[in-house]
Amino acid sequence: QNMVFGHEIVDTEVIRQLVYALAMVLIMLYRSEGLWPSPKHEDKIAKLSKRSGKKPVRA
């Protein structure tokens, strides 16, 4: 900022926080299930049934 405007307009810490907040918002919009989504319950049941060779019982 000093090179372009001759003085500091916004503190560098504020710019860092704004960039971090923008990245968080973009991640929440793009990956609402999270960066590492938890496996679904049905996926766990299917994996266990493949190991045992039995069909899962549905309630």
**33-52 pLDDT tens trace:** 777 766 666 666 667 667 66
Domain of 37? Answer: 2-52
In the numeric block, which tokens belong to residue 59? 């309630």
Task: Look at residue 32 and tell me if it is in a domain.
Answer: yes
> Would you say residue 15 has pLDDT above 70?
yes
Task: Look at residue 25 and tell me if it is in a domain.
Answer: yes
pTM (2 decimals)?
Answer: 0.50
Q: In the structure, what pLDDT confidence band is assigned to residue 28 with cuts at 50, 70 and 90?
A: confident
H helical segments located in the chain: 2-5, 12-30, 41-52
Task: Look at residue 59 and tell me if it is in a domain.
Answer: no
User: What distance in Å separates the CA atoms of residue 39 and residue 41, rounded to the nearest whole number?
Assistant: 7
- Number of residues that this document lists for the chain: 59
Task: Look at residue 58 and tell me if it is in a domain.
Answer: no
Among residues 42, 44, 46, 40, the alpha carbon closest in space to that of 55 is found at: 46
What is the count of structural domains for the chain? 1
